[in-house]
A and B are shown apart, each in its own frame.
Chain A
Amino acid sequence: MAHINLPEGIPGILGPMAFSPETAVPLNALAEVLLRAPNSLSQGDREMIAAYVSSQNDCFFCQSVHGAAAAHYWGDKEDLVRDLKRDFESGPVSPKLKALLAIAGKVQKGGKNVTAADVERARKEGATDKEIHDTVLIAAAFCMFNRYVDGLATFAPTDPERYRESGKRIAAEGYIHSTDHLPKLAHG
């Protein structure tokens, strides 16, 4: 059961977002620009960074949703997402994405863990300042989203099919209207 009174059956972050629409609006706007707006990093790569950080934070809901989104963008490659979460260094992805995932892993542990060498490695593999910036901010943002979801002990479905649907919906509709269909809560 969640730590506060949330509407039943609403999965993950959507519960607290329905509870607090005031904060949900800018949070969804941030997710949209970080993960979905035009960017030199593909939507799949950005969702993968989000899924990887969420898996390092052991947040089942976030890693499942954003992992499903990454898999969908990449052409239903669920196995690849699963393998990268376990060990991205030996996965079949670009050296640039590996270097960015390494930076994301450092941010997850704490901002000060990112070294000049981590950044140099990413730059050497072709990452721009903007891509390094976006990687750090995506990783930092998921250290927030994961804590929001787990810190309130929200409900997370276990059926993978529900996450596949979420992944497709994110790709098709994005984040801005993610809570539009939820019941409105009456509270102070």
Chain B
Amino acid sequence: MAHIKLEEGVPGIRGPMVFSPETTKPMREFVDVLLRGPHSTLTAAEREMIATYVSSENDCYYCQHSHGAAAAEHLNGNYELIDQIKRDYATAPVSEKLKALFAVAKKVQTGGKNVTTADVEAARAKGATDRDIHDTVLIAAAFCMFNRYVDGLATWQPEDPEMYKTMGKRLATTGYLTTGWERPVAKAEAK
């Protein structure tokens, strides 16, 4: 049971988002620009992969599965790649640049000060721009927030792969800004 009274049947972050519309508005705008905005030099798939990896390192079930599904749906349904990244990104078939950015994201996840000049230099050597490094640090930092929000309130996190798949499809196509998606999620999306 969640730590506060949240609407039943609304999974993960959507529970507290329904509870607190005032904070939800800037959070949705933030996550949409962060993961889908045109300013970034990282693809939406790459950004969702970083979000998924950090959420997996933070052991947040809901976030790693919803963003993992969004990443996979950006990649024509390649769920196997997402599993590989979470298990061991070093051996996953992704670019060397993305691997170096995962390493930066991992340092951010353990604490901002852990990011070293060497980590940043390694990413730069593989072609990462300042923009790539900035976005990686902010995505990793942001998921240290979202994961804590979801788990810190002990939200309901169903383990139905189909629900996450439906969610991932919607996130990959329409994004995070559309209103009215919060409910009734469990019933509508499990089908």
Give the interface of A toward B (CB within 8 A).
3-5, 16, 19-20, 22-23, 25-27, 29-30, 33-34, 37, 57-59, 103, 106-107, 110-112, 114, 116, 119, 129-130, 132-134, 136-137, 139-141, 143-153, 187-188
Contacts and interface: CB of A to CB of B under 8 A. Distances in A.
B145 A57 contact: no
Nearest to A131: B4
Interface of B: 3-5, 16, 19-20, 22-23, 25-27, 29-30, 33-34, 37, 39, 41, 58-60, 104, 107-108, 111-113, 115, 117, 120, 129-131, 133-135, 137-138, 140-142, 144-154
Going nearest first, the 6 A-B pairs with the smallest beta carbon separation are A111-B151, A150-B112, A147-B141, A144-B145, A26-B30, A140-B148
Nearest to B113: A150
Contacts of B142: 144
B39 A114 contact: no
Given A114-B3, A132-B4, A139 B112 contact: no
Given A106-B152, A111-B150, A119-B3, A137 B26 contact: no
Contacts of A116: 3, 154
5 contacts: A111-B147, A140-B145, A150-B111, A150-B113, A152-B112
Given A4-B130, A33-B22, A129-B4, A16 B152 contact: no
Contact of B115 (A29, A114, A153): A153
B148 A147 contact: no
Given A16-B138, A146-B112, 4 more contacts: A111-B151, A132-B4, A133-B16, A151-B107
Given A58-B113, A133-B19, A147 B153 contact: no
Contact of B153 (A22, A29, A136, A143): A136
Contacts of A22: 33, 37, 39
Contacts of B150: 111
Contact of B111 (A57, A110, A114, A133): A57
A29 B25 contact: yes
Contact of B138 (A34, A143, A148): A148
A106 B154 CA distance: 13
A47 B144 CA distance: 20
Contacts of B27: 26, 30
B63 to A, nearest CB: 10
Given A16-B134, A151-B112, A152-B134, A137 B16 contact: yes
Contacts of B144: 140, 143-144, 147
A130 B141 CA distance: 24
Given A132-B3, A141-B145, A111 B34 contact: no
Contacts of B134: 4, 16, 19-20, 152
A26 B145 contact: no
